[in-house]
Structure 1
Amino acid sequence: MQEGKEPPLVTPGEVLGRASDVKPGIGAYVASHNDTVYASLTGFLRTISPSADSPDQRPTVEVTGHKAHGAVPVPGSVVIARVTKVMARMASADIMCVGPKNVQEKFTGTIRQQDVRATEIDKVDMHLSFRPGDIVRALVLSLGDARAYYLSTAKNELGVVSAESTAGATMVPVSWTEMQCPLTGQIEQRKVAKVGS
């Protein structure tokens, strides 16, 4: 009956099966907290049967894009994003790269107040952590709501990697909470990504 029918179209976050029954292939990932396999991109669902001599007899599920796809953020991947809006409890950002690869679609991320840093979470001031235009390195926590990924900058190496001062110069990090304008010497607060060790 399946002949000639198009495979089902799935979207990011759609459940593809349980990890005990299927293996994630391209465009799919397993969520460790509930051992469920999800789609990580929009595309057609394909199930690939294992070879007869394979020790793992679970079929592989993969999502193949219906158009050429660039990189797609998945939970656990490190992304580079540009902050677009800062509010009292969260900041929005456009994801530009996943690891070393550029994205071709528009993906938005949300950095919530509790995900900015690992300590003194209740004292985080979003406006002193990020400004619109800042370039941040962040970890994808999960696929949030309305196609926005939840991002975290809570590790030392995550946070603002590049920021422009009010004078228009690229600022230099001076500590993990401050960046300095090389032109004016003015210091601005940021959640700075630690460089090196």
Structure 2
Amino acid sequence: MKLCVPGERLCSTEDCIPGTGTYLRHGYIFASLAGYVLRKNEGEELPVISVVRETEAQLLPDVGAIVTCKVTSINPRFAKVHILYVGSTPLKDRFRGTIRKEDVRATEKDKVGVQMVPISWCEMQCPRTHAKEFRKVARVQPEYLQA
């Protein structure tokens, strides 16, 4: 098996069909991760070319897959996550991901929701639903303090 690095051009789209661990650009198939190149002939069609990290195939997150993530950092535009499970299968390696603010909901992507208000040094409250959540609060404005 041949070793490859991310960004390495593997072949033309006329020769193979892209599989896991690859991406298409300008009519060529490139490796998206470091690993071994695998070609599988499935029937009469073109062979499928993929890149795997070990000799056995590993489950990789794919576009549209349901995943379980751990949020590592948040800013006003996006959240950085570590993908832990694809479906109910745990991953061997940790994959990083980004969730944009616009992608939080399937509808009303421009509107994520009401901003929570600090009510004490350890509690935030939704002004619409009045639901409270325990969060660390750096500074509470005097107009929001509970009496």
The two structures share one fold, judged by TM-score above 0.5: yes
Let me know the Cα RMSD of the aligned residues: 3.9
Which structure would you say has the larger RCO, counting Cα contacts within 8 Å and 6 or more residues apart?
A: 1
1:55 equivalent in structure 2: 44
In 2: Cα distance, 1:64 partner to 1:45 partner:
7
CA radius of gyration, larger in: 2
> Aligned partners of 1:65, 1:28: CA distance in 2, in Å?
9
> What residue number does 1:7 align with?
2
| 1:69 positional shift | 6.7
State the partner residue of 2:63.
75
Match of 1:107?
95
Task: Provide TM-score, normalisation by structure 1.
Answer: 0.46
Per the alignment, in what secondary structure is the counterpart of residue 83 of structure 1?
A: strand
Structure 2 residue identity aligned to 1:45: V
TM-score, normalised with respect to structure 2: 0.59
Residues in 2 aligned to 1:63 and 1:55: alpha-carbon distance in whole angstroms? 21
Percent sequence identity is: 31
- Contact map agreement 1:93 1:108 (CA 8 A) in 2: yes
Check 1:126–1:35 CA distance in 2 against 1; reply closer, same or farther (3 A cut).
farther
Total equivalences in the alignment: 124
Q: After superposition, give the CA deviation of every residue in 1:123-145 in whole Å (9 maximum; x if it has no partner).
A: 325976xxxxxxxxxxxxxxxxx
Structure 2, unaligned runs of 5 or more: 117-121, 134-147
Evaluate the alpha carbon distance shift between residue 47 and residue 70 of structure 1 in structure 2; reply closer, same or farther with a 3 A threshold: closer
1:1-197 counterparts in 2 under 5 A? 7-11=2-6, 16-25=10-19, 27-28=20-21, 37=29, 39=31, 41-48=33-40, 50=41, 54-56=43-45, 58-66=46-54, 70-124=58-112, 186-188=131-133
Deviation at 1:21, TM superposition (A): 2.8
